[in-house]
Amino acid sequence: MDYYNLLTTCAFIHLLVSIPYAYSNYVENKAGQFFSSGHTNNWAVLVCTSRFWFNYRHVANTLSVYRSVKRLGIPDSHIVLMLADDMACNYRNPKPATVFSHKNMELNVYGDDVEVDYRGYEVTVENFLRVLTGRLPPSTPRSKRLLSDDRSNILIYLTGHGGNGFLKFQDSEEISNMELADAFEQMWQKRRYNELLFIIDTCQGASMYERFYSPNLMALASSQVGEDSLSHQPDLAIGVHLMDKYTFYLLEFLEEVHPASQANMNDLFKVCPQSQCVSTPGHRTDLFQRNPGSVLITDFFGSVRKVEITKDTINLTSSLKPLIQRSGSGDMQIESLTYVDQLPVAEIIHQNAIQGLSYSIMTEGTPVNF
Amino acid sequence: MGLLSDPNRRKALTGLLTRLNTPICIVCYLAGIVWFMGLAFEPFTLRTYMSENAMGSTMVEERFSSGERALSLAKEFDAHKRKAGGMPVEWLVKAMQSRGLEVFTQSFSRKLPFPDENKERYMVRGTNVYGILRAPRAPRTEALVITAPCSPGNTNNQAVALLLALAQYFRNQIYWAKDIIFLVNEHDLIGTQAWLEGYHHTNITGMEYSPLQGRAGSIQAALSLELSSDVITSLDLVLEGLNGQLPNLDLANLFYAFCQKLGVLCTIQGKLQRNDWDTAEGYTHAAQTMMLMVLKQACGRSWGDHGLFLRYHIEAASVRGINSFRHYKTDATTIGRLLEGMVRKLNNLLERLHQSYFFYLLPSLSRFVSIGYYMPAFGLLAVILLLRALDLWVHLGAPALAAVDGVTEAEQPSSPGVLTVLTPVVISHLTGVALYLLPVHLQEMAVEHFPVSETEAVVLTAIAIYTAGLALPHNTQRALYAVVMVLLSPAFTILYCVFIYQELIEAPVSVSEGWMLFLSVISQGILDHALYGSLVYPLLALFIYPCWLMFWNILFWN
């Protein structure tokens, strides 16, 4: 009897002791799920490359994506909006201070709170590449920088006039698909993105993503090589075409998406089939590590912060203790917070998920809520 | 060795040239004629298309609705015109000011070299009235011009009234990127010339004008409106300007696009387009339209008020309303909408029209032939001159070759002295200069001695000098050649063109009427040259006539 009592008490004690461990493992798993998509912040770079009044639709394209992205949660501080011309205040606009995307003036995508970061002649190939790679002069204001880190999911949207392998900027210069691929590779090597979604709405847009070779890139284009992307509807009061077909249907699709929606990338690939778009939209996912069906739209278009309210205390695991001890050991070194350098080599070396937790507390990324 | 440096091959080539010269020339001539006439055949032409990106398609909604008000305004204008006996300047100034334009006037005067039939006096005085609609938001760097002439009598009242109605409508819109100038000019082309010279600060034709007080920037395009009835059946587009210059084809394309959109019948050269290009009538219709354009360009006068704008690189066209006997009538509101659409599309321009062709022929409004297609026909005709020249050159060198070969039967032809060659050349050119200068200068003397008016004096002096040039010692053996030469002389060519022109516009004339037309054509040519700088009369008098006179001399060389 004593033996059995001893066994049961031992088992009971063992169970009691292991519950907190099990529970912390559970918490770790749950915490690990927070980062299953791998990103902690979202950025968007939206570029319209054409000027002149008859290219109204390109500005309307960009502004409609801007509107969707803002609605789904990405703040202006995380959006770099580049518009090559001012349509809202163009002399020929019969409705000044508006840019419409639907005819009969149903939807004004210019709105009241648009923030254009690069405007007019500032939208050049050089500035675009500098924004992507982060090589801007120190005097550049924050709103004109892409301050992404290796946990950022970035959405890049380009629209304008393009051809086989190039995109025309401002009627005077071009960016080639190799330059774009090299810029993304620079971004990867500098760990400036976690995953990147590239959408382009131009003629022969698929040629622009043919040359990508960096990991974690997904690309969509409005037309294949040899096809033209077509514009959608003219508005007879304004006298121009308002939107391109692909972005029009993309906007309609995005209007249905809300921050909690579970729509995934496979739905995005189905936007605007050839029966609606006349051109054949294309996409590229071979460089992307996750399955597109498990990638949510809001991973790129929205800025979803995963929050779970808990009333229990959670014990942090032991490896944190040395850090806490260090900071509590009297000799407090007060480090002023600075922005991350281009290549935080020290942190990259630690690839552990637990160290990943501590890393994100130490650096200036979006604070993680428990 | 090369083809031309090897003497044997060269001799063979030149032998071929001299032997086959006449057949090749005949073939080239026929080929040139056939090529040119074949251009009117529809499969050889291209459909017109809008080349300028900024103008795009006709996607605007026209909202002009004051056609009826324009017609009542026309009656008012007519009444004031009769009362003023000319241009009702105060009424026009007040009307434009009440519509919110900045109004200015310009007075001008011109002494004509001789009074023509229309004016019947030496001095022409007039006033232009123009109002500037300032673009509400744009800088004042560019402008568009809409002009309507103030003509005596019943003509063009509706044009001026529609101009004022459009001005009132345009004033309420905020989408103008350019200033719009509404010009009412007096004395047609003379007034337009005075206004243009004042606007651009030039003085090329000796006009006297008061300087313009108000200006609007560089003019991108101009439209001239001629409308004389309340309802019309078709709109005619007039493109030919001074010295045969044409506006950019995009302007014609714009007009045609809006005609199709609004369902207005549109014609060019007064002829309506046909659908049956594969029948003989369809082909001759297109060929007639094209030949009319060629003739109108050749005579060098401006066929509408727009023609003088072209010299300043301002693309301009005239729109003329025609009221003939057709079932379907178009009212003033639709014409206003057409003009509104055109001006709104021109408003979208960022640069001057330059994307489309500047040299073209139109067999119909929707088909065009560019210079790349019609120039080879003239090239073939010019090749004949080259071949004949080469033939003469070879023959000139032939006696020398005969001497080199050692055969010395051919006597050395004495090379003519410089004086004997120079004298006919100088005399021909002097006669040409006399033909150019004397008719206008000797008109007072002619009027004193002969019972004719000044105009007739000028024309008859010209013809007299022309025939005096023919007075050379001639032998009757060459009478046939002489007659053929006279029948192919420039003056007779003009006479034939007059008759052909009348045939083409389906108003054939009798011989005496044709002769009177011919005389008026000569006087108009001299007047156009003096007033606007048309180059046809000097070209004929100073170049073509002396050349023909030298041929005449050669024919009777003894």
Tokens read off for B498: 């007059």
Say how many C-beta atoms besides its own lie within 10 A of residue B373's C-beta: 18
* Residue the block writes with tokens 């009221």: B323
Under 8 Å between Cβ of A240 and A54 = yes
**Contact criterion met (CB < 8 Å) for A240 and B59:** yes
Of B495, B503, B481, the closest CA to residue B555 belongs to B481
CA angle A121, A124, A128 (to 5 degrees): 130
Cα torsion angle, A160, A161, A165, A171, sign: negative
Under 8 Å between Cβ of B77 and B91 = yes
**Contact criterion met (CB < 8 Å) for B61 and A96:** no
pLDDT in tens, chain A (370 residues): 678 888 888 778 877 777 766 666 666 666 555 555 678 899 999 999 999 999 999 999 999 999 999 999 999 999 999 999 999 999 999 999 999 988 777 888 998 889 999 999 999 999 999 999 999 999 999 999 999 998 899 999 999 999 999 999 998 999 999 999 999 999 999 999 999 999 999 989 899 999 999 999 999 999 999 888 888 888 888 888 889 999 999 999 999 998 888 898 999 999 988 888 888 999 999 999 888 888 889 889 988 766 677 888 888 776 655 555 555 555 566 777 777 666 766 666 665 444 545 444 444 444 444 3
pLDDT of amino acid A29: 66
Long-range interactions of A312-316: CB distance < 8 A, separation 24+: A314/A24, A314/A27, A314/A370, A315/A20, A315/A24
End-to-end CA distance of chain B: 44
Of B460, B468, B473, the closest CA to residue B545 belongs to B468
| DSSP track, B77-139 | HHHHHHHHTS--HHHHHHHHHHTT-EEEEEEEEEE-SS--TTT-SSEEEEEEEEEEE--SSS-
Say how many C-beta atoms besides its own lie within 10 A of residue B317's C-beta: 26
**Contact criterion met (CB < 8 Å) for B175 and A234:** no
ipTM of the complex: 0.81
Under 8 Å between Cβ of A174 and A125 = yes
Interface membership of B450 toward A (CB under 8 Å): no
A203 is catalytic: yes
pLDDT of amino acid A370: 38
Residue of B nearest to A56 (CA): B54
Binding-face residues of A in 264-323 toward B, CB within 8 A: none
The continuous run of DSSP H or E covering A88 comes out as none
Q: Which residues in chain B come in under a pLDDT of 50?
A: 403, 406-410
Under 8 Å between Cβ of B124 and B112 = yes
Of B328, B166, B339, B344, the closest CA to residue B263 belongs to B328
Angle between helix B67-84 and helix B332-347 axes, rounded to 10 deg:
100
pLDDT of amino acid A126: 95
A48 is catalytic: no
* Residue the block writes with tokens 């017109």: B48
Cα-flanking dihedrals φ and ψ of residue B53, to 5°? -65, -35
Q: What is the pTM of this model?
A: 0.83
Chain A residues within 8 A of B60 when measuring between CB atoms = 236-237, 239
Interface membership of B53 toward A (CB under 8 Å): yes
Residue A42 to residue B258: CA distance in whole angstroms: 49
Residue A306 to residue A40: CA distance in whole angstroms: 9
- Choose, out of A92, A93, A98, the residue to mutate when testing the contact with B (most B CBs < 10 Å): A92
For A7, A284, B26, B502, the CA distances from A164, given in Å and listed in that order, are 77, 17, 51, 56
Residue of A nearest to B351 (CA): A52
Interface membership of B501 toward A (CB under 8 Å): no
pLDDT of amino acid A331: 57
How many residues are given for chain A? 370
Interface membership of B177 toward A (CB under 8 Å): yes
pLDDT of amino acid B278: 82
Q: Which of A52, A90, A236 sits opposite B60 (nearest CB)?
A: A236
